[in-house]
Each structure stands twice: as structure tokens, then as C-alpha cells.
């Protein structure tokens, strides 16, 4: 599959078939996704793969009973075959930028980063993972850490890490999946969001 085709085909899936996903395949794709850029080669992005029974354990940590009972997306999402929790280690960046070849930047202090590249790098690796999953014939959705982030971090045993997002993975349930209502919003076209500046 060409990259342009993967970009066109990739979309967030909110309902999955009750079908297992090969955890070893997902682990391999995560390793490939970590080829994405990382500031100063800080290597501060982490992926934690949960599959099989661990998926329901993830949802127990990441949601509450009310959400699981009332949200119309819950059943379809919870049928996923795997979840990848994407985290970052800010200290990997501040430690790296305190080394002799980077120390003049002043970025050994976390507060001095105008853009927190530990989050930027995690986002780039996560996008790479989404495209690799599409190429591998799997579908996914990126799920924000809008609730219970500490519970998720505790579940995966992460210390000194920030939760950025989770990638929920499986095989699309064609009949049960539905498109986000956000897609109906009027937005600028892709062409309108690209500037060409000639000097």
C-alpha cells in the first residue's frame, strides 16, 4: 500500500468486530513507528501494548461504569482486540538537553521548552503507528486521555511518564461503525490550510 493510499483510507473507527488481534504484530508495528523523529534523539516515547483480556482491564481503568453503560460507542470500542497506550518521558528530554552538546539551549529546564517536544514526538510516533496499522489491514482510533489518566498509568506500571493517548485497535465492524458528527462541521479545505510563500 502506498503512503497516499494509507492516508486516504485511514480513519478513526469506533466499532470493532469481536475478533482477536495478534499482539506480536502490534508490538512489531510499534517498534517500527518509533522510527519517527525525536528531538535530540532523546528516545522518550513509550508504547505499551495490551491485548486479549488486558483490553477489558484497560477499559475498566480508562473509563467508569456510567460511561460504559451510557455511551453508545462503548460496546463497539470495547470489542477491540488490542490497545496501545502512548506515553512520553519528559525527563528523557531534559536529561538529554543538559548534556554538553545541547546545554547551551537552556532546555535542561522543563519550563523553558516553548513546545513540549516529548508530546510532539509521541504524536508523530502515534500517527506513524496509525498508518502502519492501516497498511497491515488493521483499523484503529486514537483515544484522548480525557479521563482517569493516572489509573491508566498505574495499570501499565508507568512512572515518570505522561499519558498522551491510547490507540484502540481491531477490525472494523462495518455495520456498527458510525462516523463522528464532528465531520459535519464546516471547516476550511485542505488547500485553504496550506500557505505558499514566495519571496
Residue 118 in grid coordinates: 516529548
pTM of the prediction? 0.92
Distance between CA 85 and CA 54 in Å, rounded? 12
**Confidence check: pLDDT of 181 > 90:** no
CB atoms within 10 A of CB 142: 17
- Residue 96: predicted pLDDT: 96
Residue 146 has pLDDT above 80, yes or no: no
pLDDT band at 103 (very low <50, low <70, confident <90, very high): very high
Q: Give the H/E segment covering residue 143.
A: strand 139-144
What's the distance, CA 77 to chain centroid?
A: 15
Mean pLDDT of 164-182: 85
What pLDDT is recorded for position 184? 74
User: What is the percent of the chain where pLDDT is above 70?
Assistant: 98
Alpha carbon distance 137, 142 (integer Å): 16
In the chain, % of residues over pLDDT 90: 80
Give the whole-angstrom CA distance, residue 125 versus residue 127: 5
**Residue keyed to cell 510532539:** 120
Please tell me the predicted confidence (pLDDT) of residue 120: 97
**Domains in the chain: boundaries:** 3-193
Q: Which CATH superfamily is domain 3-193 in?
A: NADH Oxidase (3.40.109.10)
Amino acid at each position: 500500500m502506498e503512503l497516499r493510499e494509507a492516508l486516504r483510507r485511514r480513519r478513526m473507527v469506533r466499532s470493532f468486530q469481536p475478533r482477536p488481534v495478534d499482539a506480536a504484530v502490534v508490538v512489531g508495528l510499534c517498534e517500527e513507528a518509533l522510527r519517527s523523529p525525536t528531538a535530540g534523539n532523546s528516545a522518550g516515547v513509550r508504547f505499551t501494548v495490551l491485548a486479549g483480556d488486558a483490553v477489558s482491564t484497560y477499559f475498566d481503568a480508562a473509563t467508569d461504569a456510567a460511561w460504559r453503560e451510557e455511551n453508545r460507542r462503548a460496546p463497539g470500542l470495547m470489542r477491540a482486540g488490542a490497545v496501545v497506550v502512548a506515553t512520553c518521558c519528559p525527563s528523557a528530554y531534559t536529561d538529554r538537553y543538559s548534556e554538553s552538546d545541547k546545554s547551551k539551549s537552556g532546555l535542561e529546564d522543563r519550563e523553558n521548552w516553548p513546545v513540549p517536544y516529548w508530546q510532539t514526538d509521541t504524536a508523530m510516533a502515534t500517527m506513524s503507528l496509525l498508518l502502519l496499522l492501516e497498511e497491515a489491514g488493521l483499523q484503529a482510533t486514537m483515544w484522548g486521555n480525557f479521563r482517569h489518566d493516572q489509573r491508566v498509568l498505574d495499570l501499565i506500571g508507568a512512572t515518570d511518564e505522561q499519558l498522551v493517548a491510547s490507540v484502540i485497535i481491531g477490525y472494523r465492524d462495518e455495520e456498527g461503525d458510525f462516523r463522528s458528527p464532528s465531520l459535519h462541521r464546516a471547516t476550511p479545505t485542505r488547500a485553504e490550510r496550506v500557505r505558499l510563500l514566495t519571496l
